Structure 1
Amino acid sequence: CFRYVDNVPWAQQISYYPYDVAQAAKIDVPTDIEEGTVRALAKAGYREVRWLDEVSARAATREEATAFRLGGGMFVLYYQRTGWTNERPIRLTREILPADRNIVTYEQVETAAIGEDS
């Protein structure tokens, strides 16, 4: 899907799920999922507990430049997130983000060390 801000194409996103997980969470339908897929997955017993994020940058393809209305030589950020339950990966989301209008920000919060009682 394409996401827009004030009618400006801001991001392109696609997500993939193992078919058995998609069926169990009832997200294997080509319609909007009102509660969102992460909540639907959790409700079906597939709560994400960790993520692997990968971010890189590259020149926009001709198709991306057209879709995002980019000038020549513009770059895009390629953002990929894999969501895991305790047992397995259950979601792969890929986003293309024009570098002239997106910022990737991370905030880390201290958590108890593994093995510590809290």
Structure 2
Amino acid sequence: MDSTRVTANLPVTDIEAAKSFYTDFLGFRTEEFNMGWVARFTAPDGVTSVQLVTHDATAPEDSVMSVHTDDVDGAYAEAQRRGLQIVHPLTTETWGVRRFFVRDPCGNVINVVGHRS
């Protein structure tokens, strides 16, 4: 799998309460999106970002990071071929991404995501 971007998914209890810490203090100025349960904030460089997550809307567990790829279907097939534990199956979500969750050998849940063209 070729990773095109990695975003940390930080657990928070309240996105609005945490927002000013990440925007005003840490400098993540741009709110790329805010769906109520997940919001992404990006630094002025346009590359560095963080996602604040209260809970995942469709998956049974929350992920610690999102790994973006241009071939999410191929990544899913490779994860299956390797016998990795799939936590959330390959799904096309209503908000415009195709993704699955996989557990790493230490127990971390990773969101592998591709954006629809």
TM-score bin (small chain): under 0.3
Q: By percentage of residues, which structure has more strand?
A: 2
* Greater C-alpha Rg: 1
TM-score, normalised with respect to structure 2: 0.24
TM-score, normalised with respect to structure 1: 0.24
